[in-house]
Amino acid sequence: MSLRQLLLRLPRYLGVSGSPRRLWWSPSLDTISSVGSWRGQSSRSPAHWNQVVSEAEKIVGYPTSFMSLRCLLSDELSNIALQVRKLVGTQHPLLTTARGLVHDSRHNLQLRGLVVLLISKAAGPSSMNTSCQNYDMVSGIYSCQRSLAEITELIHTALLVHRGIVNLNELQSSDGPLKDMQFGNKIAILSGDFLLANACNGLALLQNTKVVELLASALMDLVQGVYHENSTSAKENHITEDIGISAWKKQTFLSHGALLAKSCQAAMELAKHDADVQDMAFQYGKHMAMSHKINSDLQPFIKEKTSDSMAFNLNSAPVVLHQEFLGRDLWIKQIGEAQEKGRLDYAKLRETIKAGKGVTSAIDLCRYHGNKALEALQSFPPSEARSALENIVFAVTRFS
Amino acid sequence: MASCRWPWRRCCSWRPAARSPRPGSPGRAGPPGPPSAADAGAQMSYFNLVKSLTSAFPNRYSMSRFHHTTSAACCCSKTRSGEKYTDPFKLGWRDLNGLYEDIRKELLISTAELKEMSEYYFDGKGKAFRPIIVVLMARACNIHHNNSRDVQASQRSIALIAEMIHTASLVHDDVIDDASSRRGKHTVNKIWGEKKAVLAGDLILSAASIALARIGNTAVISILTQVIEDLVRGEFLQLGSKENENERFAHYLEKTFKKTASLIANSCKAVSVLGCPDPVVHEIAYQYGKNVGIAFQLIDDVLDFTSCSDQMGKPTSADLKLGLATGPVLFACQQFPEMNAMIMRRFRLPGDVDRARQYVLQSDGVQQTTYLAQRYCHEAVREISKLRPSPERDALIQLSEIVLTRDK
């Protein structure tokens, strides 16, 4: 089965109960304030999320051109696949990334592309400008917009792969032979570059310099965002970076929001929508991505597993907020108290954080962004696609 | 073959030992010295070289006596009468003042360390070979088209973009090759680590793409994104290898085009598109860039055998150590078939690198590769000569010869 086929069928395998969409669409202002009170299945169950995704896919006409077919069938990709196989048995992160891309049924798999397609459909053709009339449209989406969705995923995946590069001078004997890591790095760089080159070519084919500029600047933002992540995730450093939540938001915009926001805007530009529409699309993308990230950060603190000593990211939203409330000195003291013989007891630290205000304010922040995203959507006419976009927001802001 | 007197040999008589392909030759005669002294020395001799080319000026096209006479249809025999002959680098630099500052402006980001890493190679110490060709080509095309003596801002932008794309690929290549030094200093990956180095490369590429988009010309965007794809494909070609001897050379030339010549060819084409609507001119620019680019790389591969590391700024026999069989090796293999086994195992066994190097220096691999480079240069000259005479056109002609005679 090809990679693409696998990606498309995965959500369906997980079961779609097909409850009527009408329940999800609630009119006007109720929606805006009711992000936290929407009834329905718990968003923590995978079935729910996948339901949202699969319904969305139906609306955009089962995207058949995700992960550009041309790209998938190329010699280079089979070359890459062969090389990645050689990494089986090593500890290079690329293997994890590759596995994640193929097997991961979690919602962050193709989210960006799907959102771009949905917003393209939700906006529809531009009423003002009729110059797009000779573009072909399938399921209410122009082929250039579909292309853009692919390009967005290509850029995201490229950086995902580049994130997995290993610093050779930090290797320990437990990481395995040096040459495996060197080889893994080599393949990771080439694969990432290959995906970026495909993205660039795709952008060139769109024949729209403004879109190229938008996506190129999104790439620049993403690189900076990934850079920040790298800098703050040093293994030995148990201490949260001394940043407040506003700096955190800026960095998170770079690493998670920019690509989606600018892609959504670019989709509007392709259909020749005016600046206001473009801005609304940007706002939706930005806020939705932020709430999605905060949701992801909250998972270790929301899940009910009691004896969970799994590590969590100390630069995630709840922890950064916790530190901000407490002040840095007290936070460092708490970390010290949670340390035993130099090793951090994550379970204990988790309880400490849960006892504070970090988690609840992170939930509030998540809902704040969710509401901003919904506000932005109001300027789009009601439609299936718009509902699907709203459902996505509801899904990432549910915490019960 | 042995009877051929390569033109560069004549001009290089002031440096006796350096170019000799005799095995065991010590390489550059004279004191190694600190890098700056060596640079100054190289530059001095470089200008001497230029002067000797000046005197050889009317005979330049007699390089063709090795092959065939240049067709009479081109106006290559005329130059601007009375124009003072200048060094192509000097000529090109008139338009490139502030090149590195301008590139650094494109890399204006808030993250201090990432900015520092990205700016690392834009310190003014690179050869800036590609930007020079680009601006000279821009002027040559503009003059050819309508005698315009201006360079458009968009054309100058292409020079920056070309240098940025080139540098981004170098940063990644250094991580892939685990290189420790380049241009006489430590590589980005050695100083900051591989993770950050890869991101720095991505950043430079994204900045180049933004600058490209801002030119606002979709044809130019298409031309240069082709380069990005070619660079990656070139690296892939280098990863794989051909078992068949006959395919090896074609594979080598294809890789050489993709990794080196494509950028130069397409940058030349891009500036010609911006300066002139005639597709014939675009093709001339492309062909010039392609041929010079291939020649450039062939000589680079030769220098890996004949030069020593101080001059190059990076270690030599680097290609062999990476398992790469370049021009001199492939030619040498024809004389010494026992090299085949080493080529196939990519010089992995201890002693392979040294043995291969010895074979190459004993064979005529270096000469053959140089001769091939000359032919590409000749082709480049033939193409560019079709443009209207101008100082810049002549500078481009001269540049193609400098490509053959450079020593780093």
Could you read off the pLDDT of A175-193 as tens digits, one per residue? 888 888 899 999 999 999 9
Q: Are A107 and A398 in contact (CB under 8 A)?
A: no
Percent of chain B with pLDDT over 90: 61
Q: Please state whether beta strands A343-344 and B181-182 pair in parallel, antiparallel, or not at all (unpaired).
A: unpaired
Indicate yes or no: CB of B195 within 8 angstroms of CB of A201. Answer: no
Return d(Cα A97, Cα A74) in angstroms, integer.
20
CA distance to A165, A283, A293, A388, B182, per residue, from A286 (Å) = 27, 5, 11, 17, 40
Query: Which residues fall within 8 angstroms of residue A255, CB to CB, at 6 or more apart?
Result: A222, A224, A225, A226, A228, A229
pLDDT at B54 over 60: no
CA distance to A56, A203, A266, A270, A388, per residue, from A279 (Å) = 23, 21, 10, 14, 20
Q: Are A316 and A297 in contact (CB under 8 A)?
A: yes
**Crossing angle for the helix pair A384-397 and A111-123, to the nearest 10 degrees:** 140
pLDDT at B57 over 80: no
pLDDT score, position B355: 92
| Six token digits for residue A8 | 């498309």
List of domains in chain A: 51-395 (1.10.600.10)
Q: Please give the residue that has the higher pLDDT: either A124 or B386.
A: B386
A190-204, A272-286, A308-322: range with lowest mean pLDDT: A308-322
pLDDT score, position A86: 80
Categorize the per-residue pLDDT at B160 as very low, low, confident or very high, splitting at 50, 70 and 90: very high
Interface test with A, best of B174, B224, B225, B258 (most A CBs within 10 A): B225
* Mean pLDDT, residues A219-237: 78
What would the pLDDT profile of B240-272 be if each residue is shown by its tens digit?
766 677 788 999 999 999 999 999 999 999 999
Q: Please state whether beta strands A137-138 and B185-186 pair in parallel, antiparallel, or not at all (unpaired).
A: unpaired
Residues of chain A with Cβ-Cβ distance to B113 below 8 Å are 231
Interface test with B, best of A209, A231, A233 (most B CBs within 10 A): A209
Report chain B's C-alpha Rg in angstroms: 21
Q: Please give the residue that has the higher pLDDT: either A195 or A302.
A: A195
Alpha helices of B276-351 — where are they, by DSSP H?
Answer: 279-306, 309-312, 318-321, 327-335, 339-344
Residue B186: strand pairing partners: B181
Confirm or reject contact between A179 and chain B (CB < 8 A): no
A121-135, A306-320, B171-185: range with lowest mean pLDDT: A121-135
To the nearest whole Å, the CA of A398 is away from the closest chain B CA by 34
pLDDT at A29 over 60: no
To the nearest whole Å, the CA of B232 is away from the closest chain A CA by 6
To the nearest whole Å, the CA of B16 is away from the closest chain A CA by 41
B181 CB-side CA count, 13 A: 12
* Mean pLDDT, residues B326-347: 92
**Crossing angle for the helix pair A75-86 and B218-239, to the nearest 10 degrees:** 40
CA atoms A292, A297, A298, A299: torsion sign? positive
CA distance to B94, B102, B288, per residue, from B150 (Å) = 12, 19, 21
Mean of the per-residue pLDDT values of chain B = 81
Backbone angles phi, psi at A138, to 5 degrees: -125, 130
Q: Which DSSP helix (H) or strand (E) runs through B104?
A: helix B99-106
What would the pLDDT profile of B118-137 be if each residue is shown by its tens digit?
999 998 887 799 999 999 99
To the nearest whole Å, the CA of B237 is away from the closest chain A CA by 9
pLDDT score, position B302: 93
Residues of chain A with Cβ-Cβ distance to B235 below 8 Å are 190, 193
B16-20, B101-105, B385-389: range with lowest mean pLDDT: B16-20
Q: Name residue B75's amino acid.
A: C
Q: How many CB pairs under 8 A join A and B?
A: 130
| Six token digits for residue A31 | 């929606």
Indicate yes or no: CB of A213 within 8 angstroms of CB of B236. Answer: no
Indicate yes or no: CB of A203 within 8 angstroms of CB of B206. Answer: no
CA distance to A5, A111, A154, A383, B116, per residue, from A118 (Å) = 21, 10, 18, 10, 39
Return d(Cα A95, Cα A102) in angstroms, integer.
11
Indicate yes or no: CB of B225 within 8 angstroms of CB of A198. Answer: no
To the nearest whole Å, the CA of B198 is away from the closest chain A CA by 7
CA distance to A9, A52, A84, A300, per residue, from A28 (Å) = 34, 21, 50, 34
Q: Are B269 and B289 in contact (CB under 8 A)?
A: yes
- Taking Cα atoms as reference points, which of A218, A220, A57, A223 lies closest to residue A151? A218
| Six token digits for residue B94 | 């008139």
pLDDT at B66 over 60: no
* Mean pLDDT, residues B183-205: 93
Categorize the per-residue pLDDT at B309 as very low, low, confident or very high, splitting at 50, 70 and 90: low
Categorize the per-residue pLDDT at A218 as very low, low, confident or very high, splitting at 50, 70 and 90: very high
pLDDT at A319 over 60: yes
pLDDT score, position B61: 37
Return d(Cα B129, Cα A285) in angstroms, integer.
42
CA atoms B374, B376, B378, B384: torsion sign? negative
Confirm or reject contact between A213 and chain B (CB < 8 A): yes
pLDDT score, position B46: 33
* Mean pLDDT, residues A124-148: 79
pLDDT score, position B144: 95
* Mean pLDDT, residues B320-346: 92
Indicate yes or no: CB of B209 within 8 angstroms of CB of A212. Answer: yes
Q: Name residue B177's amino acid.
A: D
Indicate yes or no: CB of A189 within 8 angstroms of CB of B176. Answer: yes
pLDDT score, position B38: 39
pLDDT score, position B64: 36
pLDDT score, position A302: 84
Categorize the per-residue pLDDT at B85 as very low, low, confident or very high, splitting at 50, 70 and 90: low
Length of chain A: 400
A12-21, A86-95, B250-259, B318-327: range with lowest mean pLDDT: A12-21
Residues of chain A with Cβ-Cβ distance to B176 below 8 Å are 185-186, 189-190
Categorize the per-residue pLDDT at B278 as very low, low, confident or very high, splitting at 50, 70 and 90: very high
pLDDT score, position A311: 80
pLDDT at B26 over 90: no
A292-306, A370-384, B29-43: range with lowest mean pLDDT: B29-43
Place of tokens 């990205």: B118
pLDDT at B317 over 50: yes
Question: Which positions 61-90 of A are in contact with B (Cβ < 8 Å)?
Answer: 76, 79, 83
Mean of the per-residue pLDDT values of chain A = 79
pLDDT at B374 over 60: yes
Indicate yes or no: CB of B175 within 8 angstroms of CB of A185. Answer: yes
* Mean pLDDT, residues A147-156: 92
* Mean pLDDT, residues A30-51: 47
Residue of B nearest to A224 (CA): B111
A129-133, A159-163, B172-176: range with lowest mean pLDDT: A129-133
pLDDT at A45 over 70: no
* Mean pLDDT, residues A350-356: 89
* Mean pLDDT, residues A165-173: 87
**Which residues does B contribute to its contact with A (CB < 8 Å)?**
109-111, 113-114, 172, 175-176, 178, 193-196, 198-199, 202-203, 205-207, 209-210, 212-218, 221-222, 225-226, 228-229, 231-233, 235-236, 239-240
pLDDT score, position A240: 63
Categorize the per-residue pLDDT at B285 as very low, low, confident or very high, splitting at 50, 70 and 90: very high
Q: Please give the residue that has the higher pLDDT: either B309 or B383.
A: B383
Q: Strand, coil or helix: what is A339?
A: strand
Residues of chain B with Cβ-Cβ distance to A203 below 8 Å are 209, 221, 225
Categorize the per-residue pLDDT at B81 as very low, low, confident or very high, splitting at 50, 70 and 90: very low
Backbone angles phi, psi at A91, to 5 degrees: -110, 20
ipTM: 0.83
Our CA angle for B24, B30, B36, nearest 5°, is 120
Q: Strand, coil or helix: what is A138?
A: strand
pLDDT score, position A63: 57
pLDDT score, position A71: 56
Q: Please give the residue that has the higher pLDDT: either A241 or A149.
A: A149
Return d(Cα B20, Cα B296) in angstroms, integer.
19
